[in-house]
Amino acid sequence: MSIAIIGGTGLTSLHGLEIDHREMVHTPYGEPSGPITHGHLHGKAVMFLARHGYGHTIPPHKVNYRANVWALKHLGASRVLAVAAVGGITPAMEPARIAFPDQIIDYTWSRDHTFFDEDLTHVTHVDFTHPYDRDLREQLIAAARSIELDAVESGTYGATQGPRLETAAEIRRLRRDGCDLVGMTGMPETVLARELGLAYAASAVVANWGAGIGGAEIDMGEIEENLRLGMEKIRDLLGAVVPRL
Ligand code: HPA
């Protein structure tokens, strides 16, 4: 039952990871964002992949999500803990908070979003009623409680195309649709993991208020500072959750 961690913006390396080796995987879908790092975190074998590349050079719409997810499955991952920076929409989703989304709405377009579109002998529809793995989410929630991390334990993630941030009207629309968070990488990563039978759950780090909330424009300096604070919490959270898995 191998554990894989996909790090997003602000998490291109894992603090405390004892690295054994790095491995490049060539997939039928092309190259992943970088080599997969094999190592041990708190005594447990884990794999780590930086979603945007180790130098953070791949924008959200250019990430080869199929290659990333396929590579982790190929190397034996059965569970994926994804970490992603997001914007906050509803009042609980304050900058620097951690949230564990339980639903997602896909607003992305023209991304390779399925493994089931070639060599079709039959049409496959995966169940996606509950997009995140229940057990893995419960472990995240229990781990967060055990370290008294003030995390939001549910929420709907709106996945936007990027790389630009949203307009104020788009954020109002997402809120009307029921989104609590907005990010650019949740889809198709989440559904691709489901298609390959991987248990997948996400920890979202709120970097900023969504566009138009609070009136001011989005300040990139504030995003950096909130991500720094949020990623410190993620390190504590991973330290608490990985030994439980
Ligand atoms: N919108 C979309 N993605 C994001 C944001 C945002 O405001 N902040 C961090 N990732």
Domains of the chain listed by start with CATH number = 2-117+126-244 (3.40.50.1580)
Half-sphere exposure of 123 (CA within 13 A, CB side): 1
Q: Which atom of ligand 1 lies nearest, measured to the CA of 183? A: 3
Helix (H) or strand (E) holding 229, with range, is helix 220-241
Residue 105: enclosing H or E segment and its boundaries?
strand 103-106
* Chain mean pLDDT for the chain: 94
Q: Give the C-alpha distances (Å, rounded to integers) separating 78 from 5, 6, 240.
A: 11, 13, 19
Ligand 1 centroid–CA 144 distance in Å is 23
Q: How far is the CA of 230 from the centre of ligand 1 (A)?
A: 14
Distance 119 CA to ligand 1 centre (A): 36
Mean pLDDT throughout 69-78? Answer: 98
Query: Measuring from atom 3 of ligand 1, which residue has the nearest CA?
Result: 183
Q: How far apart are CA 214 and CA 92, in angstroms?
A: 14
pLDDT for 87 equals: 98
Residue nearest to atom 10 of ligand 1 (CA): 86
CB-based pocket (< 6 A), ligand 1: 85-87, 160, 165-166, 182-184, 207-208, 210
How much is the pLDDT for 15?
80
pLDDT in tens, 161-217: 999 999 999 999 999 999 999 999 999 999 999 999 999 999 999 999 999 998 788
Interstrand relation of 36-41 and 44-50 (parallel, antiparallel or unpaired): antiparallel
Q: Which of 98, 60, 77, 90 has the alpha carbon at shortest distance from 25?
A: 77
Angle at 183 between CA 177 and CA 185, to 5 degrees: 120
pLDDT tens readout for residues 113-159: 999 887 667 777 899 999 999 999 999 999 999 999 999 999 999 99
